Each structure stands twice: as C-alpha cells, then as structure tokens.
C-alpha cells in the first residue's frame, strides 16, 4: 500500500517527508494509457503532490501543481488535498522519447525545460496563494527544490523517482523532501548536502522494500527520527455528474444551444479520471429552459 509520512529528525532541525507511490503510479499510468516516459513524468508530479499535500494544514486546503515545459507531453497537472488524496493528468500521455544517453527514461526531455512550475494553494482565503519558478531540468525533483528555494525561501532537497523494468513496467515509485528549520545549525546543511550526493536513489530503496520511515532514516542517517504523521495514499477523483452539469450550465444558454444543434448531445470526459459523462438532448433542453 502507498504510504506518506511526515517526520522530524532527532535534533529537531530538519523536517522530512517521504512517500511510497508505486500503486498510485501504476494506477495513473493505466487510467491515462501512458507511455513509459509519460508514466514516469506523471508519477513524479503526483508523488510531489502527495508530499506537498502533507504540508497542508486545514482539512479543506487544496494544492495544485502545474508543470509546463514546452516538451511533447504538454502540461502536467496534479492536485492533492490535506488527506493526501491526489489526482492528475498530462495533456499527451502517449507521447514518448527514446532513453537518454544514461539509459534512463528521458523525463526532462518529455516535459521540456522551457517553461515553469506553478503551485496554487487554496487555503480557504479570499485569494489562493500562487508561486511560480522557471523549470531547472524538467526532471521535476530539481524543479520542486527550486520552487521551495526561490518561491518559499525554504532550503529544501527533493528526490522523486520511478523505477521501470526492462519491459518498462513500473517496479517502484516514491520520493522524499527534506527541509531545514529556520534556526537549524548551518553545519547540518553542509553535512546533509554531502550525504545526499552519494546515497542510493529513492526508487531503488522503495524497490528493495524500504518503507517511507526507513527511507528517511537512511537518507538522514538518523535512527531516531520522530514520525509526526502517517497516512495511506489514494488516487481519487471527485468529479460527479452534478459537477459536470454545473460546468455545462456555466457555459451559458447560447453555447448549450450550439451543442444541441451541432451534436444533439453533450459528451464530456473528466481529464483526471477519464470518466465519460453524456447529457442527452432532453437534458440539455432542460438546462436551456431553466
């Protein structure tokens, strides 16, 4: 089962998050019929959304990540709430690229590097909080790190990984994020930076059966981390017939009449879960007359 944990190190200087997302990555790839590279790209953004969802405080808070790098996959969107229920999609999930020169899935190439990563936090205030950074590599992990460093000014290290088999099936997916507390000893940052350079990849750890707690113990080299929160992760779409109907109604009478004349019915597919909703002529007529 996919799990998310939030923790603090034994010295109280580092807050840390880790998630295992293998199930979620496979499920999203199946729903969207993703190519192997697109599956990895979408899984990384979903994994980031799970981690960032853990930073939300209120029950109703909602976080959206939008990545647009000008690459063949188009835009990738992921949404998470504070219960770490996530959903996501990519514009062109079937787009693919050959393996990169290192023999790895070319996520950076598929996403592209000429664009931005946008984070929208709806915290129930009048206006949502919006932060944006230019993409660093399109590999997502680096881009999330850049987002926290520039947009939120929190020293952060992020690792997001998806491991695929020879046949390109997803073997493991997961990630972690580490942040220094404002009053942390600068020596800790140096030590962490050195350690992060040559530790094992997170997807490989998850593949070897490491739980998110064990991933953090290993990454922080600390057997006494304190787990503050642990949740199971779910891919959930909150679309419904009523919600889609409200969207249709919001198009206005004129537009609904156009659909009626041209199509005879309205067919709408949810981007996030591919659920198809059909509204027959009679229903459309009712919307117009109301």
Give the nearer residue to Zn ion in terms of CB position, either 160 or 237: 237
Work out the burial of residue 192: count CB atoms within 10 Å of its CB; fewer than 13 is exposed, 13-18 middle, 19 or more buried. buried
Alpha helices in the chain (DSSP H): 22-31, 36-53, 107-111, 141-146, 186-197, 202-207, 212-220, 241-250, 253-263, 281-289
Give the nearer residue to Zn ion in terms of CB position, either 49 or 180: 49
Tell me how far, at minimum, the Cβ of 34 lies from Zn ion, in Å: 17
Give the footprint of Zn ion on this chain (CB under 5 A).
237, 239, 270, 272-273, 275
Give the nearer residue to Zn ion in terms of CB position, either 82 or 275: 275
Three-state secondary structure string covering 183-225: CCCHHHHHHHHHHHHCCCCHHHHHHCCCCHHHHHHHHHCCCCC
Give Cα 283 to chain centroid, integer Å. 36
Which residue is associated with the tokens 């199930």?
23
Distance CA 16, CA 37 (A): 28
Give the nearer residue to Zn ion in terms of CB position, either 92 or 277: 277
Tell me how far, at minimum, the Cβ of 87 lies from Zn ion, in Å: 7
Give the nearer residue to Zn ion in terms of CB position, either 26 or 87: 87
Tell me how far, at minimum, the Cβ of 275 lies from Zn ion, in Å: 5
Give the nearer residue to Zn ion in terms of CB position, either 86 or 219: 86
Distance CA 290, CA 286 (A): 6
Tell me how far, at minimum, the Cβ of 77 lies from Zn ion, in Å: 12
The full DSSP string for 152-171 is: S---EEEEEEEEE-TT--EE
Q: Which helix (H) or strand (E) holds 85?
A: strand 85-90
Of 168, 176, 141, whose CA–CA distance to 20 is shortest? 176
Give the nearer residue to Zn ion in terms of CB position, either 148 or 279: 279
Tell me how far, at minimum, the Cβ of 184 lies from Zn ion, in Å: 41
Which residue is associated with the tokens 């019929």?
33
Tell me how far, at minimum, the Cβ of 272 lies from Zn ion, in Å: 4
Tell me how far, at minimum, the Cβ of 86 lies from Zn ion, in Å: 12
Give the nearer residue to Zn ion in terms of CB position, either 88 or 108: 88
DSSP 23: H
Tell me how far, at minimum, the Cβ of 244 lies from Zn ion, in Å: 9
**CB–CB of 170/39 below 8 Å?**
yes
């Amino acid at each position: 089962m996919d799990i998310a944990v939030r923790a603090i190190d034994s010295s109280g200087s580092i807050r840390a998050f880790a998630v295992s997302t293998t199930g979620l990555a496979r499920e999203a790839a199946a729903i969207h019929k993703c190519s192997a590279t697109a599956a990895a790209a979408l899984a990384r953004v979903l994994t980031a959304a799970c981690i960032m969802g853990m930073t939300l405080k209120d029950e109703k808070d909602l976080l959206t990540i939008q990545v647009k790098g000008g690459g063949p996959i188009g835009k990738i969107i992921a949404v998470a709430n504070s219960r770490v229920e996530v959903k996501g999609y990519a514009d062109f999930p079937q787009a693919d690229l050959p393996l990169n020169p290192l023999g790895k899935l070319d996520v950076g190439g598929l996403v592209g590097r000429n664009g931005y990563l946008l984070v929208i936090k709806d915290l129930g205030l009048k206006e949502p909080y919006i932060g944006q950074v230019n993409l660093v590599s399109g590999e997502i992990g680096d881009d999330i790190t850049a987002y926290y460093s520039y947009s939120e000014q929190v020293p952060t290290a992020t690792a997001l990984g998806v491991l695929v088999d020879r046949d390109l099936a997803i073997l493991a997916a997961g990630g972690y994020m580490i942040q220094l507390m404002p009053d942390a000893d600068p020596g800790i940052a140096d030590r962490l930076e050195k350690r992060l350079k040559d530790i094992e990849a997170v997807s490989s750890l998850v593949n070897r059966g490491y739980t998110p707690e064990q991933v953090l113990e290993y990454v922080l080299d600390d057997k006494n981390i304190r787990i503050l929160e642990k949740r199971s992760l779910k891919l959930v779409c909150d679309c419904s017939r009523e919600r889609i109907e409200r969207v249709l109604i919001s198009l206005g009478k004129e537009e609904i009449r156009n659909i009626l004349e041209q199509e005879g019915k309205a067919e709408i597919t949810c981007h996030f879960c591919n659920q198809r909703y059909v509204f027959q002529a009679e229903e459309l007529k009712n919307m117009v007359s109301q």
